[in-house]
Chains A and B, each alone.
Chain A
Amino acid sequence: MADPAPPGPKTPRNLFAEQAANRRTTWLLIGVFVLFLAFLGFGFDLFVLGYDASRPARRGAVPIPIAAAFATVFGGVSSWFGYRFGDRAVLAGSGARPVRPDDPNARVLMNVVTEMAIASGLPMPKVYVIDDPDPNAFATGRDPDHASVAVTSGLLMVMNRDELQGVIAHEMSHVRNYDIRTMMVVAALLGAVLLLSDWASRVRIQGRRSRDDDEGSAASGPLGLLIFVVWLLAIVLAPLVGQLLATAVSRSREYLADASGAELTRNPMGLANALRKLQAATEPTRRVSRGTAHLCITDPLDRAVNEREGKLADLFGTHPPIDDRIARLEAMAYKG
């Protein structure tokens, strides 16, 4: 892993193609998550509430798949809340405090953010500082007009001006590419999946007992058994599957944010040196919770999986290996 990886095969497409692709990915993910939720709910209808589409008039049965409807609506509502209020939840949860524009200690930070807002042609985001000695940073919000950038006090301590500029450029690229929105919605849907699968797993055994006398419905027979097994698996594996969907998005977005960040500053080495310093800081960022990890510039938990190559790391890591990211930035610098 010490030898530098070759520059990535994925050369960045132009900005508008990226934004369009990100919007598609967002909708696709929302679709997959909502279908998954609907499936969890529908299984609940079949096996617990005794829903049967072929015999709607049966006594004691629920006439509509009420749990499926509930799960779908629940997913929709929570993704809307994530979209609308997720940034506030994340900022409050990590103890971020807003920086006043005239704070003399934050003058360089505010100047650098202003510079990057000008370079990207975006409105000035709200700026927050988190009191934590470990260097890290993240961006959040639903669109560039409602974006926030948060950095830890440790980041301000260790980075020089060029490196700070690289980090902020990376975060502004997340804002410009609408990664922040994708991540908020994904996090909210992931939360909904976790909550619903938890609820479903609590009641399923109780409800199953009353289904013994029922023959010939969709819930019995070999097909019914298969659906039942898949449904149980889905409930058990829901946290894992949700995590996989979330990390799949987050990982690929990091390379792009590095590349377009370097394009903003025209100085790839600033971010490369910053990443090297972030790599050297092995302490976890305590103020940033697990649910916020995929928003940060480097993994706040410093999990080893992010530093590995290969299929497994691609599945579970929220961030690509730092060595690889540095190598790609250096390749950009040498090209000139």
Chain B
Amino acid sequence: MSVWLIVVVAVVAVAVWLYNSLVGLRNQVRNAWAQIDVQLKRRHDLIPNLVGAVKGYMQHEREVLERVSEARARAMAASGAAQAGQAEGQLSQAVGRLIAVMERYPDLKANQNVLALQEEVVSTENRIGFARQLYNDMVARFNTRQQVFPLNLVAGALGFQPAEFFEMDAAERAVPQVDLQPGGGR
């Protein structure tokens, strides 16, 4: 009798622990996503400042600047992780291009305001990359936990769903096609 009681208590304890671990992972995934969101907003806020600050110096690079502004507008309008990932990937590409082109202008390196903005943009690009790295690691752990025994039997019934990876690579691979079209159109 008491043996059965112990077995029941043990099974319930393991079930509670597994369920809580799944909830904990789901919260970590949400937190990681929130961090990406914060950094993407930061990027969207910073880019007009950088473009405005360098515009005067870079009359001949209007195409590069326009591409950044357009990619930003598209990224801000994107909805859903897949579409946002693609748009943000293109924006990363455009910003990287702008930073590379800026290296060719010695006047820009003497401007403290531009240098400060450039550092902020570079850091934001890094933060987005690192936040994405962490988010995808968390998603992989969360999804794996749902797919292995015994939680695979009940995860769906308990309302857990696999989380979506945040992919920017697909967009980055598609970028050469964008480059083929002169004028930076979509």
Q: Give A contacts to B, CB under 8 Å.
A: 104, 107-108, 111-112, 114-116, 118-121, 161, 264, 266
A264 surroundings in chain B (CB, below 8 A): 130
- A108 nearest CB neighbor, chain B only: B119
Q: Are A121 and B127 in contact (CB under 8 A)?
A: no
Q: Are A104 and B116 in contact (CB under 8 A)?
A: yes
Q: Are A115 and B134 in contact (CB under 8 A)?
A: no
Complex Cα–Cα for A161 and B123 (A): 10
Chain B 121-155 interface residues, beta-carbon cutoff 8 Å to A: 122-123, 126-127, 130-131, 133-134, 138
Complex Cα–Cα for A290 and B122 (A): 38
Q: How far is the CB of B67 from chain A (nearest CB, A)?
A: 25
Q: Are B123 and A114 in contact (CB under 8 A)?
A: yes
- B120 nearest CB neighbor, chain A only: A111
B83 surroundings in chain A (CB, below 8 A): none
- A265 nearest CB neighbor, chain B only: B130
Q: How far is the CB of B121 from chain A (nearest CB, A)?
A: 10
Complex Cα–Cα for A266 and B138 (A): 17
B134 surroundings in chain A (CB, below 8 A): 118-121
Interface centre among B28, B32, B119, B133 (most CB of A within 10 A): B133
Partner of B32, one of A107, A111, A121: A121
Q: Are A118 and B119 in contact (CB under 8 A)?
A: no
Q: Are B120 and A119 in contact (CB under 8 A)?
A: no
- A263 nearest CB neighbor, chain B only: B133
Interface centre among A108, A115, A264 (most CB of B within 10 A): A115
Q: Give B contacts to A, CB under 8 Å.
A: 28, 32, 35, 39, 116, 119-120, 122-123, 126-127, 130-131, 133-134, 138
- B38 nearest CB neighbor, chain A only: A118
Complex Cα–Cα for A107 and B120 (A): 9
With A118-B130, A121-B32, A266-B133 already in contact, the answer to whether A111 and B123 are too (CB < 8 A) is yes
Partner of A118, one of B35, B116, B138: B35
- B138 nearest CB neighbor, chain A only: A121
With A104-B116, A107-B116 already in contact, the answer to whether A118 and B123 are too (CB < 8 A) is no
A111 surroundings in chain B (CB, below 8 A): 119-120, 123, 126
Q: Are B131 and A118 in contact (CB under 8 A)?
A: yes
Complex Cα–Cα for A120 and B127 (A): 11
B130 surroundings in chain A (CB, below 8 A): 115-116, 118-119, 264
- A121 nearest CB neighbor, chain B only: B134
Q: How far is the CB of B103 from chain A (nearest CB, A)?
A: 14
Interface centre among B35, B116, B126, B127 (most CB of A within 10 A): B126
Interface centre among B32, B119, B130 (most CB of A within 10 A): B130
15 sampled A-B residue pairs with Cβ under 8 A:
A104-B116, A108-B119, A108-B123, A111-B119, A111-B126, A112-B123, A115-B127, A118-B127, A118-B131, A119-B131, A119-B133, A119-B134, A120-B134, A121-B134, A266-B133
Complex Cα–Cα for A108 and B133 (A): 21
Q: How far is the CB of A325 from chain B (nearest CB, A)?
A: 23
Q: How far is the CB of A7 from chain B (nearest CB, A)?
A: 23
Question: Which 10 A/B pairs are nearest by Cβ-Cβ distance?
Answer: A119-B130, A111-B123, A118-B130, A115-B126, A121-B134, A118-B131, A118-B127, A115-B127, A115-B130, A107-B119
Q: How far is the CB of A81 from chain B (nearest CB, A)?
A: 32
Complex Cα–Cα for A319 and B120 (A): 35
Q: How far is the CB of A294 from chain B (nearest CB, A)?
A: 28
Complex Cα–Cα for A111 and B126 (A): 9
- A264 nearest CB neighbor, chain B only: B130
Q: How far is the CB of A35 from chain B (nearest CB, A)?
A: 34
B32 surroundings in chain A (CB, below 8 A): 121
B133 surroundings in chain A (CB, below 8 A): 119, 266
Complex Cα–Cα for A272 and B181 (A): 41
Q: How far is the CB of B41 from chain A (nearest CB, A)?
A: 14
Complex Cα–Cα for A115 and B128 (A): 9
Q: How far is the CB of B6 from chain A (nearest CB, A)?
A: 27
Interface centre among A112, A116, A118, A161 (most CB of B within 10 A): A118
A120 surroundings in chain B (CB, below 8 A): 134
B120 surroundings in chain A (CB, below 8 A): 107, 111
- A165 nearest CB neighbor, chain B only: B126
Q: Are A114 and B119 in contact (CB under 8 A)?
A: no
Complex Cα–Cα for A74 and B122 (A): 51
- B31 nearest CB neighbor, chain A only: A121
Q: Known pairs A111-B120, A119-B131. 6 more at Cβ < 8 A?
A: A107-B116, A111-B123, A114-B123, A115-B126, A118-B35, A266-B133
